[in-house]
Amino acid sequence: MPVHLYGQPCNMDALKSLCDENNLLMVEDCAEALGSEWKGQKVGTFGDAATFSFFGNKTISTGEGGMIVTDDEQLAEDCRSLRNLCFQSSKRFVHERLGWNFRMTNMQAALGLAQLERLDEFVIRKRNMGAKYTELLADLDGVQLPLAKTNYSDNIYWVFGMILDEKLGFDAEEALQRLGKNKIGCRPFFYPMHQQPVLKDMGLFKGESYPVAERLYKQGFYIPSGMALTEQQIEKVAETVIDEIK
């Protein structure tokens, strides 16, 4: 189950208790949270397993793919087998169950390992970018900016999200259009699960409404936050946001 929002973890204590009380396995979705901590403990170390993404826009990237981490030796071996077409160790082309070709190439792995060595540096860079955006946009009315920290975690600013107040009279879609005309590439928040056409066509979420998720999607968007952004580019993005949204 997802455990992050704006790159910082949600209530892991409550999730852990829920799993323990109901004899459930916990799989942490750490796709965007690499480097985050909950009360001083790294995400990815709480559950029975955890998944991380190395897609191109993540804090470290191999272009695509990701990794699964676990301290369960049998689960780790099962994952390795499923990743590699479930070849038998003694008879390579004999299969007792179906697997997938999910192998990462050596070149991708080398790229990821080299970046992993710089993870702390990248997290500092992301936090500096988040602090700069927060400073430049602090006086912008009608916009909710991400928190820098809570009493349990510091934001790693995987992305820098903004939520527009309805009183502004326009939504995120219009904001993206305005910024796009100024060559500022932004993207919307994730589309709510209960509104996904493929799931609705399967008969799921009938008659259900989740107003918080709906509002976040309608009013929220991310501004540029790639690792290669210069301070001048950050200032340009912030200046354009202020001009187009105030």
> What CATH number is associated with residue 50?
3.40.640.10
Indicate if 194 and 93 belong to the same structural domain: no
Q: Are residues 152 and 224 in the same domain?
A: yes
Q: Using one digit for the tens of pLDDT, what is the confidence trace for 122-155?
A: 999 999 999 999 999 999 999 999 999 988 899 9
pTM reported for the whole predicted model = 0.86
**125 shares a domain with 109:** no
**Within this chain, do residues 105 and 137 fall inside the same structural domain, yes or no?**
no
Q: Both 187 and 234 in a single domain?
A: yes
One domain, residues 69 and 149? no
Domain boundary, last residue among 99, 116, 133: 116
Residue 196 and residue 169 in one domain: yes
Give tens-digit pLDDT for 4-38: 443 444 688 888 899 999 999 999 999 999 999 99
Report the percent of the chain where pLDDT is more than 70: 96
Of 116, 144, 177, the position where a domain reaches its end is 116
Does 109 lie in the same domain as 13?
yes
Q: How many independent structural domains does the chain possess? A: 2
Residues spanned by the domain of 91: 4-116
If asked whether residues 156 and 180 sit together in one domain, one would say yes
Q: Which of 55-59, 175-179, 209-213, 236-240 has the lowest mean pLDDT?
A: 55-59
Nearest of 95, 100, 48, 52 to residue 75 by alpha carbon: 48
- Both 241 and 125 in one domain: the answer is yes
Instruction: Please report the pLDDT score of residue 125 as a whole number.
Output: 96
Residues 110 and 126 in one domain: no
Boundary (domain end) residue, out of 60, 93, 116: 116
Instruction: Mark whether 155 and 170 lie in a shared domain.
Output: yes
The whole-angstrom separation of Cα 84 and Cα 124 is 36
CATH number, residue 200? 3.90.1150.10
